[in-house]
Structure formats: structure tokens, C-alpha cells
Chains A and B, each alone.
Chain A
């Protein structure tokens, strides 16, 4: 149980285009979902926290107009990288949590912007 999936696992897009990443909790309802960014050989940095039906809370330094987060249902959150540029290339990881329990992490999505 407690499986979180992400789609796609790897995406390549051209500079200036937008790309959407999906995060799904497959066997539980997630009241809260988190989005992290991980640069090569570095740690995870929290980008934003989203609660179902509410606007996401972004961490300091994260551009909310560039990284659009939607948490429309208890099992789905999406991260849209708008007008992507090469510096947005990274590994994006989501996690999901229900109540006060631990976070369950997705396998990550590697974004490459050319």
C-alpha cells in the first residue's frame, strides 16, 4: 500500500514550452502533496506544499508563476513548469501524505529542457 506514481518519468522539452508532471496517490487519499526539486548529486529541496482544494504554498525563492501547482483531487496533483528554460532541468519528486502520517514519495520525473 501507500504507492505514489509520477508521470512521465522522463520528459524532454524545448525551451519556452510548458510541461506538466502528474503525481498520483494510487491507493490512498492524500490531503497534502509536496513537490521537491533535486539537482544531480544533491539533496531534495521543497518547492511547495499543496492541500486539496487550496492554493499551494510556495517556499521562498520558488516562482509560483513558473511552477504552477494544482491539487484538484485527493489523489492527483500536477506541477506545470511554464516557459521552461534549460536551468529548469532537474529531477522533480512529489510526495503525498494523509493526515499526520509519513510522506510517501513518487519515483521522480527527470525534466530536460533543450
Chain B
């Protein structure tokens, strides 16, 4: 079945530590890939996106993600986490067959940051 999977529901890291949030997708053709962050009281903010080309994508706030076709993954990384990064992170895809229309979200990963 077509799906977007974020295996980790909740992750806790120490401030200054590195971070990797996992995202796997299951679609016939590689979809467009996105990472969003949701903070309380704020709308979802796009961190980065991948359509094609260089598989290492740089985003805002020091985040990057790497697309690995062989693993059907698009993991989000940050080398040094700040307390303000505590939020909910969503991986999302737009299936190619559906056109640039429907964003399908993963279940989300809640990030907590210890001081």
C-alpha cells in the first residue's frame, strides 16, 4: 500500500547533540518529498523539499535531508540541535501520479530537547 512512514513517534535529544528523523515512503515512482515543522500556535513551516537532482537537500534553520532511492528514505538531519527546535516534525509526499496536488503526511515525530 502507498504510505509515508515516520517510525519514531517521539524522540528526545540533548541540546547540542545531532539529530536524525527518519522517513520512509512506499510509492511506485519517487514522489516529491517534504519536511515540515509544526510548533504550537504556528502554522506548518516548510523546512525543505526534494523534487529531483542533488540528493542532499539543504533547508532552513540548519536542517538538511538526504534522499536515498535504494532505501526509499528521506531522513532529516541537524548536526547540533537547539532548544527552539522542540516541535512536531512531519514528512510529507506528493505522489507523482496525482500531480502537484495532494500532500500526504506521515504520522509525525515529536522532538523534545533536553537542556
Contact = CB atoms under 8 A, between A and B. Distances in A.
6 contacts: A34-B103, A41-B110, A44-B105, A46-B104, A95-B44, A103-B103
Interface of A is mostly: strand
Interface of A: 4, 32, 34, 41-46, 49, 93, 95, 100, 102-108
Interface string B36-75: 1000011111100100000000000000000000000000
B36 to A, nearest CB: 8
Interface residues on B, range: 20 to 34
Interface of B: 34, 36, 41-46, 49, 90, 100-108, 110
A47 B107 CA distance: 16
A93 B107 contact: no
A57 to B, nearest CB: 9
Nearest to A4: B43
A79 B45 CA distance: 22
A4 B43 CA distance: 8
